[in-house]
Amino acid sequence: MLQFTKRTEYALIALVHMVDREGEVTSVRELCERYPLPKRLLAEVLKDLSHAGLVVSHRGAQGGYSLAAPAERLTLGAIIGAIEGVPTLTNCDALALSRDGGCEVHPVCPIRSPIERVRENIWRLFEATSLRSLVPDPRAGRTEVIQRLRESLATGAPH
């Protein structure tokens, strides 16, 4: 439905939380004490992020997770990709990857390339958005949040 999954949402909450604690380890328990999220599911999400190399796991007591790279270098695209996989928007791609001849509409499909452009634009937006940029500046108050909203409005949409 063109919507982030809860897993991705949880991943973002966890990662944003960790940005303020770079260098430290954050456990799932700690996260669940702070945010009312299902512990087991959050654990699964963190595991996925670990597999994707976005966070580093530390097992055992006093263990947890920490960012695998500075928040500037972790992109929204990488995060979404780790949890949901690279979005394909149309089914053309998925079908093209299967062996059964690919998308049967394709030879006469009038929207494929154009829709690809849209997909590219969205994906570029994701990859251009760093985890750092998703974290509200702690020094800024409510004004800053409004400022951010104004900025995004002024940026306009790529086309």
Give the interface with DNA as residue ranges (CB under 7 A): 1, 5-7, 27-29, 38-41, 43-44, 46-47, 50-51, 57-65, 84
Compute the least distance from the CB of residue 138 to a second copy, in Å. Answer: 11
**124 token code pair:** 């570029």
| 34 scored as a contact of a second copy (CB under 8 A) | yes
Write 115-119 long-range contacts (CB < 8 A, 24+): 115/89, 115/90, 116/90, 118/89, 119/87, 119/88, 119/89, 119/90
Q: Of these, 39, 53, 120, 141, which contacts a second copy (CB under 8 A)?
A: 120
Q: Looking at residues 128 to 147 of the shown chain, list those that interact with a second copy (rule: CB under 8 A).
A: 128-129, 133-136, 145
Compute the least distance from the CB of residue 59 to a second copy, in Å. Answer: 26
d(CA 152, CA 64): 34
| 68 scored as a contact of a second copy (CB under 8 A) | no
d(CA 12, CA 1): 19
Site string for a second copy, 86-115 (x = CB under 8 A): -xxxxxxx--xx------xxx-xxxxxxxx
d(CA 27, CA 21): 12
d(CA 74, CA 56): 13
Q: Look-up: residue for tokens 């690279």?
A: 86
By CB under 8 A, name the binding residues for a second copy: 1-6, 9, 12-13, 16-17, 34-37, 76, 80, 84-85, 87-93, 96-97, 104-106, 108-122, 124-129, 133-136, 145, 148-149, 151-153, 155-159
